Amino acid sequence: MMAKDIRIERWSGPALEQFIPELARLRIEVFRDFPYLYDGDIDYEKKYLQTYIDCPDSVIVIAFDGDRVVGASTAIPMKYETDELKKPFIEQGYNLDEVFYCSESVLDKNYRGLGIGVRFFEEREAHAKDLGGFKHICFCCVERPVDHPRRPADYVPLDRFWTKRGYVKHPELHTTYIWKDLDDENETPKPMTFWLKHEL
C-alpha cells in the first residue's frame, strides 16, 4: 500500500450521514485495542457521530481507499462538547470560544505508517483556521497504568508523535470518562489528560 493510493477528504454536516455505519464500525474495531479497550456498541456510536452531523462547524476527516473508509478523524469547537470535556477548561480560565477540540482518530491497522495520522492533524488544524477565532487546539487521551495487564509488550505511546506535531501535555487539564472495558461486567471511570497546541 502506498500513501498516494489513499484519498483524504474533509466532510461536514448532513453529507456525513452516508458514512455513519462505516465510521461506527471502524471506531469499535480500533478502540478495542489498548489503551482504550472499548467494548463498543453500534447504536451508541451512531448517536455519538450524530453530534458531528448536527454541528455546522464540526469536521470529520475521512481516509478512503477507493470507495472504502479506512480511517477517520473528528473535530469540533469545544463549546459544542460535553460538560465533562468543557469543565477543566472553564476551571482553568479558558475562553471556550477560542478552543478547538480534536476528538479522536481511528485508522485500519493495514494503513498505518503511511503518514495518514499526520494528515489527520493537518486537516483538522486547517479546518480550525478556516473557521477562525481559535487560539488553542487540543485533544485528550486515556491514562493507563504502565503495569496494566492488557498492555502489549511492544506498545509504544504516541507521546513523541504528538510532541512532534507541536502539542504539549497539560496535566492540569484532565477529566474522566466512563465506559466498559473488554471482558468487564460494568462501566468504570477512566482518567483522561489533555494535550494542547497554542496560537494556530
What does the mean pLDDT of the chain come to?
A: 92
What was the pLDDT predicted at 2? 55
Q: Do 158 and 45 contact (CB within 8 A), yes or no?
A: no
CA distance 26 to 71: 7
Domain harbouring 127, CATH code? 3.40.630.30
Output the nine-digit C-alpha cell for 170. Answer: 497539560
For residue 172, the enclosing domain spans 3-198
Strand ranges across the sheet with 68-77: 6-11, 59-65, 68-77, 99-107, 136-142, 188-198, 168-179
80-132 pLDDT, tens digit each: 999 999 999 999 999 999 999 999 999 999 999 999 999 999 999 999 999 99
127-173 pLDDT, tens digit each: 999 999 999 999 999 999 999 999 999 999 999 999 999 999 999 99
Q: Do 116 and 63 contact (CB within 8 A), yes or no?
A: yes
Model confidence, pTM: 0.93
The number of domains in the chain is 1
> Which residues neighbour 66 within 8 Å (Cβ) at sequence distance 6 or greater?
none
